[in-house]
Amino acid sequence: MTVLVTGGAGYIGSHMVLALTDRGETVVVLDNLVTGFDWLVSPSAELVRGDIADGDLVAGLIERHGIDAIVHFAGSIVVPESVADPLGYYRNNTSKTRDLIESAVKGGVKNFIFSSTAATYGVTGAEPVTEDRPLLPISPYGRSKLMSEMMLEDAAFAHDFSYAALRYFNVAGADPGGRSGQSTRGATHLIKVAVEAALGKREGVEIFGTDYPTSDGTAIRDYIHVTDLAAAHLKALDHLRGGGKSIVANVGYGRGLSVREVLDTVREVSAVAFPVRESPRRAGDPPSIVADSSKARAELGWTPQLDDLPTIVEHALAWERHLMRRNA
């Protein structure tokens, strides 16, 4: 049994590779290395550079390695970029996922785990969102992922194939052992941007929108440690391998934090009062989104271990320092 991890040289994918290899699984990573880095891939896994939509390549990997599960992370992840380049997002996230699902079905791979997103919900209000809420994404990113969920549902109905679509909330932090972390240059995600500012890699942080209908006017998100997210994928893999039914589940902590609260925590943990500037809202951003993760806890047996913002920030800072030494 070998697990194929697409996008395994990226941020979340590389943590999943660590989680798998730490428990002794055999792992093949397929990554085009456009946004990923070969040095993020655990030396215990085999890295293949290529495209997930290359049917011959994927068929060969499935056959040669006896792949029994695909964990699919490869894709584009920046909401405002998707607003500017929707067709690029539909190509990378939707069409290529279609091709990968087809390769899985043709190759007899019965277990498929998909990186979905809270962005499939759109505007929800402050209360935790359950999986049965209407799916009304407000960005091409959210739509591109929702279409992939729909394809999986239809493929699982038609073929001998099961899937888990995990809807991630805001993923942050880094491997507690310092083996991987968010390494993208020109990153846009809040905690990454803030730790860069704390370490003097940027001038400061802009708050996008201070007029949201929230407690302090800034947007609310549910920030989850990347290692807890990887652990949820292991649980989903065990669920599917054990004959469990296809499942769509939120993965977040169920705790909403405002942009200001996050920035205050990064200032406290880093002990650096980097400048913060108020700016207009950013396109495609909902005011508030928080997970109800009771389904993942009950049906997958997932229990978060690192549900603490200062810990998430500490690990993100440690990784950022590592990157600075590495690139020095």
- The residues annotated as belonging to the active site are 141
Q: Provide the minimum distance between the beta carbon of 168 and ligand UDP in the complex, in angstroms, as a whole number.
A: 9
Q: Provide the minimum distance between the beta carbon of 275 and ligand UDP in the complex, in angstroms, as a whole number.
A: 12
Q: Which of 74, 115, 111, 118 is nearest to 92 (CA)?
A: 74
Q: Which of 36, 17, 40 is nearest to 178 (CA)?
A: 40
Q: Which residue lies nearest ligand UDP, judged by its C-beta?
A: 219
- Tell me the C-alpha distance between 237 and 111, whole Å: 7
Q: Provide the minimum distance between the beta carbon of 142 and ligand UDP in the complex, in angstroms, as a whole number.
A: 10
Nearer to ligand UDP, 131 or 285 (CB): 285
Ranges assigned E (strand) in the chain: 2-6, 26-31, 46-49, 67-72, 111-117, 162-168, 170-172, 205-208, 220-221, 223-225, 247-251, 257-258, 276-279, 288-289
Q: Provide the minimum distance between the beta carbon of 163 and ligand UDP in the complex, in angstroms, as a whole number.
A: 22
Q: Provide the minimum distance between the beta carbon of 277 and ligand UDP in the complex, in angstroms, as a whole number.
A: 10
Nearer to ligand UDP, 41 or 171 (CB): 171
- In the complex, which residues of this chain contact ligand UDP (CB under 6 A)? 79, 170, 188-190, 193, 205-208, 219, 221, 259, 282, 285
Q: Provide the minimum distance between the beta carbon of 161 and ligand UDP in the complex, in angstroms, as a whole number.
A: 29
Place of tokens 């990573």: 29
The kind and range of the H/E element at 102 are: helix 96-107
- Tell me the C-alpha distance between 296 and 29, whole Å: 25
Nearer to ligand UDP, 3 or 194 (CB): 194
**Torsion over CA: 41, 42, 48, 54 (sign):** negative
In sequence order, the 6+-apart residues with CB closer than 8 A to the CB of 193 are: 187, 202, 205
Which string of DSSP letters, residue by residue, matches 19-71?
Answer: HHHHTT-EEEEEE--SS--GGGS-TTSEEEES-TT-HHHHHHHHHHHTEEEEE
Nearer to ligand UDP, 110 or 167 (CB): 167
